[in-house]
Structure 1
Amino acid sequence: MQTLKDGVLKLEGSVIAIGAFDGVHKGHQAVITQAVEKSRFNQVPSIVYTFDPPPRNYFKGVQILTTIQEKVSRIAKLGVDYIIVASFDEWYATRPPEDFISELSKLNPVEITVGADFHFGKNREGDVNLLEKYFHINITPPVYCKGGELISSTRIRQLISNGDFRQSYTLLGL
């Protein structure tokens, strides 16, 4: 597994999972695992494309659940071939969606796996519908816990804030 900065890697084929993946919780693991399985089926490398810091931290100052080192470590355990870490800063946040599409094109994705609420580019102008105009997109359905509640980084932050570490660890898959 290799960790690279955005814009460095060029491949003849790939399957990409894209997301902030803060916490690499069970929902994130489903997105990544699905991409790894598809990459193996298609005999092309798997890539996780993520951001440091996570966009919600950059824009809203929300608590980061995992350091970049921990995030990369957890992702690596899922069998990914490459991890691309984009530095999420003012320049990156103001890029038009077409720049991101152009960058993804260099990876020649056979398929891109994202969550249904995925947005990208300046003002979140890019979405799953725009990606589908250029690539084959696989939307991983949301993952729910036994109690029927959505597993999300926001929910895990709330559990931690309430002191419910046991439940937060369960949702993180720890």
Structure 2
Amino acid sequence: MALSATIRKVELQISDIDRNHYASHALTLAQHPSETDERLAARLLAFILHADERLEFGRGLSNEDEPDLWRRDYSGQIEQWIELGQPDESRLRKAAGRSRQVVVLNYSGNPGDVWWSRNAASLKRMKQLTVIDLPHAQVRQLADTLQRTMRLDVLTQDGETQLMGDALQLVLVPTIRHAPPA
């Protein structure tokens, strides 16, 4: 018998002063049986940090042709391709060929450092690649407080994101490891 996904509902009230994005988002996250709570927390944080009315979750771990999250323009072209963890260079090159912007969010601490040190030389040549490190302790804290139904108020200002909910008070300061030249 196959295990089914765990469904989590998250209501976000986002005030992102840095990006001038103020909106409510009602999310339904399907957690694949093989997906850890940490990875699900990282997916939620990826949505929070890049929130947009057209940002969508990909079909998940089983579909290699889609990212973890993506945003398409009104004609269907991919504007933003978001990957979690330490994807293969070939996957990122493929993403770069299909999207205007590629973002990698590392959330695992030291393994992310090792991945970057192995791949930095070739990845730095990708003109549309941004690599962001999420502090592992804060990702773990969010993972530990995940519930089937949650409501979070989110405030982002000056690069700092605050998440506030019934069982959570979290301050997140992502670090940009690599960004395209201006």
Give the TM-score normalised by the residue count of structure 1: 0.33
Q: Which has the higher strand share?
A: 2
Q: Which has the higher helix share?
A: 1
Bigger RCO (CA 8 Å, 6+ sep): 1
Give the TM-score normalised by the residue count of structure 2: 0.32
